[in-house]
């Protein structure tokens, strides 16, 4: 299955000075990591974070990007700007973007295009609301989100796409999906990739689970056959907990 990637999603937390402090605390704890480690920081923290990770294997992610290269889009940041800063990753389609800031499958697809054109690696978030799970349409929802976001993405470009399955009801709620639930949906997403591309691409793609993953439950979730990593919110702000999750990703 895909290469293990553990990514922190700091959301709207930490000033630049605090970001440096947190990265300095994480660095020694993940020095022996056998997986890829990424921290997803607020835009204004990017310069400090990029400087702080130097000499370590930690990658830096932005949490969104716009689809145009530049223009009259007050308050937005383009993929080209991230590229110019040598940011390696960008999180796209997070449920908080979709729920609070109007992101749709179509705008996520446009952002995906821009991010891949700029040479970034994308962490694409998909996941169902609780009502959708209760309706029994989780598979359809994540398939739709995945297919639309990957519209126009070549197999070669897919190597720069990580998919994060994040059930919305599990994000920030302390209510983690069971290992079986996480694995079932990650496997469904892998099937979608096999359908869109081929079995080789499906095996190679990294599929993370996200949603209240923490130091206590990470090992069980990461041991699942189709879970290749995690997108970590709350626990990524706690160096020891984040390091425990990284160590569990083998
Ligand atoms: P959480 O957030 O780990 O705090 O649930 C995960 C995410 O939003 O990516």
Ligand 1 binding residues, C-beta < 6 A = 9, 166, 171-172, 210-213, 231-235
> Rounded to whole angstroms, how far apart are CA atoms 182 and 209?
6
Give distance in angstroms: CA of 120 to centre of ligand 1.
Answer: 22
Q: Which atom of ligand 1 is found nearest the CA of 173?
A: 5
Mean model confidence pLDDT for the chain: 97
Residue 197's pLDDT is what?
Answer: 98
Q: What percent of the chain has pLDDT over 70?
A: 99
Residue 250's pLDDT is what?
Answer: 81
Position 1 pLDDT exceeds 80: no
Q: 162 has which bridge partners? A: 123, 206
Q: 232 has which bridge partners? A: 8
pLDDT in tens, 5-34: 999 999 999 999 999 999 999 999 999 999
Residue 49's pLDDT is what?
Answer: 98
> Rounded to whole angstroms, how far apart are CA atoms 168 and 134?
13
180 in active site:
no
> Rounded to whole angstroms, how far apart are CA atoms 220 and 110?
35
Q: DSSP string spanning 87-101?
A: --EEEES-HHHHHHS
**Domain at 5-248: CATH architecture:** Alpha-Beta Barrel (3.20)
Domain residue ranges of the chain, discontinuous segments joined by +: 5-248
């Amino acid at each position: 299955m895909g290469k293990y990637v553990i990514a922190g999603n700091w959301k709207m937390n930490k000033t630049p000075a605090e970001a440096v402090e947190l990265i300095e605390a994480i660095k020694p704890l993940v020095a022996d990591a056998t997986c890829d480690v990424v921290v997803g920081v607020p835009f204004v923290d990017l310069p400090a974070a990029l400087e702080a990770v130097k000499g370590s294997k930690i990658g830096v992610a932005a949490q969104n990007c716009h689809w145009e290269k530049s223009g009259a889009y007050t308050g937005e940041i383009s993929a080209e700007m991230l590229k110019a800063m040598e940011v390696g990753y960008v999180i796209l389609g997070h449920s908080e973007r979709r729920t609070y800031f109007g992101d749709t499958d179509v705008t996520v697809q446009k952002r995906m295009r821009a991010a891949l054109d700029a040479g970034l690696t994308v962490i694409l978030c998909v996941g169902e609301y609780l009502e959708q799970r209760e309706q029994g349409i989780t598979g359809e929802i994540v398939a739709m989100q995945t297919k639309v976001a990957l519209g126009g993405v070549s197999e070669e470009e897919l190597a720069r796409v990580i998919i994060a399955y994040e059930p919305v009801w599990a994000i920030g709620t302390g209510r983690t999906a069971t290992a079986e639930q996480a694995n079932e949906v990650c496997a469904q997403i892998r099937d979608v990739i096999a359908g869109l591309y081929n079995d080789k691409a499906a095996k190679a793609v990294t599929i993370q689970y996200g949603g209240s993953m923490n130091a206590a439950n990470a090992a069980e979730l990461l041991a699942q056959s189709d879970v290749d990593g995690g997108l970590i919110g709350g626990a990524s702000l706690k160096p020891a907990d984040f390091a425990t999750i990284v160590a569990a990703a083998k």
